[in-house]
Amino acid sequence: MSTTQLAVLARTVEPQRMLRRFLALDAAVTGANALAYLTLSGPLGRLFGAGSGLLLGLGAFLAVYTAGVALLAARPHPPTTGVRIVVEANLAWTAVSLAALVLWLTPTTAGAVWTVLQALTVAGFAVLQHMALRARQLNQD
C-alpha cells in the first residue's frame, strides 16, 4: 500500500493524524466488540458455538485493551513504543485467533466465519498502524 492510498484511507496526508485515526478506529471497533461480548455473551455464545464464559473473558480483556489503544489515540504524539506494542498485540491476536480455530475451538459455521473475519480485521489494523508509524518516522527524518 502506498502512502497515497494510506492517506486516502485516513483522509489526511499528515502521518501523525493518520496514526491517531487508525488507532482510534481500532479502539472503536475493539470497544464495540468488547461491549457485544460483555452484554450478549449468551446469545453470541450460542450463535458462535463458544462458551459464554469465554466471551465474557474476551470482552473484559478487549475492554481493557480498548482503553489503552484509545489513550494512545488521544495523545497528540502517540509514543512509538506504545504503537509498536499495539501493532504486535494485534498480530498476536490474529495468530492466536486462527490457531484457536484450528487447534481447540469447535465453533458453528457462523463462529468460524466470525473468527476469521475478526482476525483479518485486526491484522488490517496492524498493517495500517505500522504503515502510519513508518510514514511518521520517515516524515521526521
Which cell is 121 given?
A: 480485521
Render pLDDT for 50-98 as a digit per residue (tens, 0 to 9): 999 999 999 999 999 999 999 999 999 999 999 999 999 999 999 999 9
Contacting residues for 94 by C-beta, under 8 A, at least 6 apart: 119, 120, 122, 123, 126
Average pLDDT, the chain: 91
Distance of CA 55 to the CA centre of its chain: 16
pLDDT band at 138 (very low <50, low <70, confident <90, very high): confident
Q: Which residues of 82-107 are buried (b: 16+ CB within 10 A; e: fewer)?
A: ebeebbeebbebbeebeeebeeebeb
Which cell is 66 given?
A: 480498548
The reported pLDDT for the residue numbered 9 is 56
Longest Cα–Cα distance in the chain: 52
User: How confident is the model over 113-130, as a mean pLDDT?
Assistant: 97
The reported pLDDT for the residue numbered 16 is 86
CB 56 within 8 A of CB 37: yes
**pTM passes above 0.85:** yes
Angle at 39 between CA 33 and CA 48, to 5 degrees: 65
User: What CA–CA distances, in Å, run from 53 to 4, 44, 49?
Assistant: 43, 11, 12
